Amino acid sequence: MTQPSTDSNRFAFGANWARFLTVLDDDRIQEAEKSLKTMLGVEDLQGKTFLDIGSGSGLFSLAARRLGAKVHSFDYDLQSVACTAELKRRYFPDDTQWQVESGSALDKDYMSSLGEFDIVYSWGVLHHTGAMYTGIELAQQRVAGGGKLFISIYNDQGGQSHRWRGIKKLYNELPSIFRVPYMLIILIPRGTKYFLFSTLKGKPFEYINSVINYSKYSSRGMSKWHDMVDWIGGYPFDVAKPEDIFSFCYDRGFSLVRLKTCGGGLACNEYVFTK
């Protein structure tokens, strides 16, 4: 049985999501719903079953449930499980159509026990397991005939991705008291660069506005700070080129129906496949 990396430097995703829940509001939830509807090409999820692999904060499980799906959420990180359970408690207490539990995306027996789903969703998760392609294959096996697989995977930038892997590993090796200063050392020069670019275009407040209104600019309802903590700290860290993900899924009977790239940058490429 393969388990997610037990590296002692593994990032504590759940702790970051717990902090994110303090800023979660209806606007962010609606943006998450919009993201699902856009990528899946639907207006709602009534009558559909939805598997959220690595549910994290629980935001997208909540969005799927609000859109009408029967939802099964799980995460390997116990604090993430607690976050998802907290959102269920807030918005759908005692709801039998939303199940939340602990589980591993790399546990073949556990994954097989779940059955099949109309939509299998795993956004920004499988590249953090330490065995990305195993995770993708096990996720594929949970998709019902005619169902959809919606995943996002970090874009492969070659040497730049290798450097970021080192940055992420070092973040997790540092004592917690040094992590915020370390983040600022990395992020301030990048933020300054983007601010100067917007100023040179004659739009000095463009970058500032994008930070303040990040939940809308990101199209996923996330917050800038919590996304940045996740980005700097997210380790283990695997990447892939779009053509590699396409070939891997195509060879296993999946057809690509929607692709949203990060424009060749360091962020995630998003894929929706049908079985």
* 181: preceding bond cis by omega (within 30 degrees): no
Token pair for residue 234? 């997210």
Going by their DSSP bridges, the two strands 70-75 and 49-53 should be labelled as parallel
pLDDT at site 190: 73
pLDDT of residue 5: 46
Per the structure block, which two tokens stand in for 242? 């779009």
Q: What is the pTM of this model?
A: 0.82
Instruction: Please state the length of the chain.
Output: 275
Res 1: pLDDT: 35
Encode pLDDT of 160-204 as tens digits. 999 988 988 898 889 989 988 988 888 887 767 766 767 777 776
Q: What is the rounded CA–CA span in Å between residue 148 and residue 8?
A: 34
Mean pLDDT in consecutive groups of 10 residues from the start of the chain, 275 residues:
49 70 86 95 98 95 98 95 95 97 97 98 94 98 98 94 90 89 84 69 65 50 66 86 97 97 87 97
Half-sphere exposure of 86 (CA within 13 A, CB side): 17
Residue among 123, 60, 67, 65 at smallest CA distance from 96: 65
pLDDT of residue 210: 57
